[in-house]
Amino acid sequence: MLAAVAAVVAVVLIAGGIWMFTGDDGGGGGGGQADGGSAVAGGRTAEQLFTLEQPNTHVKESKGADGAWATKKIYAKSSINAVEGYRMSGKRAWRIPLGGPVCAASPHMTDEHLTAVGFEKSGHGCNSVAVFDVDTGEKLWEKPVPFGDTIFGGGDLNLTVAQDTVALSWIGGFAAYPIEGGDPLWKSKETGETCEHTRYGGGARLLVVLECGSTLTVNQLDPKTGHSTWDVKLPRGVEDGRSVRVVDTDPIVLVVGTGGEVESEVMTIDDKGSVAATFSLGKRYEPGCGIGNMGSESCFNVVATDETVFVSTKEHDGKGDFAETNEVMGFGFHSGEPKWKSSSGDDRTVYPIGIEGDKAIAYVTPTLRKGGQVVSVSAKDGKQRGLLRLPDKSAEQQGNFRVPTMSTSAPALYEGGRLFLQRSLLYGKEESQKDAAPMAMGFGTGR
């Protein structure tokens, strides 16, 4: 799949020479284009905790590095053919070598901070899975993906963690394992399978996009058995299960594509398995769903509480020359109706990236000379309050991280009062962009 994307990127470059398609994150990112840009009031002044440069590599071409996780003491990031853990000083705490580049990663961890990645072993597609402890760097187990004799085995690996279960699906099959290792909890038959587990979404619940012939549903599964506890039929016009992305499982929010669109609607589902609301994204909104319909959990600028769904709008002209701006819109979880609009301020853009309590956490991009910011956004009225002010001296570096992203891994992570910016495509040694931006940066008020 990475090779296919690279080919598309190359065609775009030849056809138009547009810089924004040179990678998913690096090379001139999401900051405003003009100086100035007033910050939201309040917030602590953050220090730059660390900068992780891309490691030197003998690899000639770009490689994927999906996945980043943060705990109280460790920031973990996929690197070139490995996963690495760093202390908040930037000193490496551990390294897990893998047999190839990471090609899929769960955005979720268990309560004990265990998670999983898929990787390309020995150059034979996305064919292996590893589970590891984010705090210690211990690799608990590694297994080959059980493709069997399926015709399309290996394409578009989708991998997630829900409670204590690792669930994975690919074109032609699916399987699930206990997080601690052992035999599969369930897996697809090699022949005669009537329904396909096209997508999984993890975290607090385990959801599956189930494709049974022309019937498409979203089902909640028991993570221990794989048995369905309820199902919801998807809207008419959804062509296949890969037109569905699971934004969240608590509360349940989906982004679906109908009528050939990659993302056209937001759909919310209540705890009992009934559709709460749907609303159109149209041409105005930017859900941050990456490239095409790759990645089952790859819509990074839609977040939700039990009462409100937060969605960013696309960038548009601001007041100053060459200035760009946008807003966060609040929609009723149960009504789908717009509630309020919250502006980023001129010369900046704002993107919701998470939830803390009953508020959204949003990243406000830097200008050329002023650092970015982390703010909270009230679910009630959209009022913003500053949480972290990023240092001005690294504004240019901050701007090299693209938000929204074109990858299947989140470009910004806020955890424990710290913000982490990261890239999910690492450049080869012969590529001109290899020095364009660090691999990751961390910001906070203490190590």
Are 118 and 137 in contact, with CB atoms under 8 Å apart? no
The amino acid sitting at 74 is: I
Alpha carbon distance 89, 177 (integer Å): 35
Q: Is the pLDDT of residue 436 over 80?
A: no
pLDDT at 38: 66
Instruction: Give yes or no for a contact between 66 and 105, defined as CB atoms under 8 angstroms apart.
Output: yes
How confident is the model over 390-399, as a mean pLDDT? 94
Average pLDDT score, the chain: 87
The residue written with tokens 């590599």 in the block is 57
CB atoms within 10 A of CB 240: 15
Q: How far is CA 151 from CA 190, 242, 297, in A?
A: 10, 18, 25
Of the two residues 61 and 227, the one the predictor is more confident about is 227
In this structure, what token pair is assigned to residue 357? 């309590």
Cβ burial, residue 110 (10 Å; 0-12/13-18/19+): buried
Q: Which amino acid is at 68?
A: A
Task: Summarize pLDDT for 328-350 with one digit per residue, the tens.
Answer: 999 999 999 999 999 988 789 99
Helix then strand then coil, in percent of the chain rounded to 5, is 10, 40, 50
Q: What is the mean pLDDT of residues 53-79?
A: 87
What residues pair up with 324 in beta bridges, in sequence order?
Answer: 317
pLDDT for 432 equals: 59
Q: Which pLDDT score is estimated for 446?
A: 75
pLDDT of 85-113, one tens digit each?
Answer: 999 999 999 999 998 899 999 999 999 99
Span of 39-48, 71-80, 174-183, 267-276 with lowest mean pLDDT: 39-48
Average the pLDDT over 35-43 and give the result: 70
Cβ–Cβ under 8 Å, residues 170 and 159: no
Report pLDDT digits (tens) over 154-180: 567 999 999 999 999 998 889 999 999
Between the alpha carbon of residue 2 and those of residues 45, 290, 345, 415, 436, the distances in Å are 39, 13, 36, 29, 21
Per-residue burial over 298-311, b if 16 or more Cβ lie within 10 Å, else e, is: bbbbbbbbeebbbb
**To the nearest whole percent, how much of the chain has pLDDT over 90?**
66
Does pLDDT of 4 surpass 80? Answer: no
pLDDT top residue among 391 and 432: 391
> Could you identify the residue written with the tokens 């990243």?
363
297-320: average pLDDT: 93
- Which domains does the chain carry? 2-444 (2.130.10.10)
Write out pLDDT tens, residues 359-380: 999 999 999 899 999 999 999 9
Distance CA 254, CA 238 (A): 12
161, β-bridge pairs: 166
* Closest to 250 (Cα-Cα) out of 268, 235, 266, 224: 268
> Is the pLDDT confidence value at 13 over 50?
no
Q: pTM of the entire structure? A: 0.89
- C-alpha 430: how far from chain center: 28
Residue 5 pLDDT level (bands cut at 50, 70, 90): very low
pLDDT of 3 above 70 = no
**What gap in Å lies between CA 296 and CA 158, rounded to an integer?**
6
Query: What CA–CA distance (Å, rounded) separates 325 from 342?
Result: 11
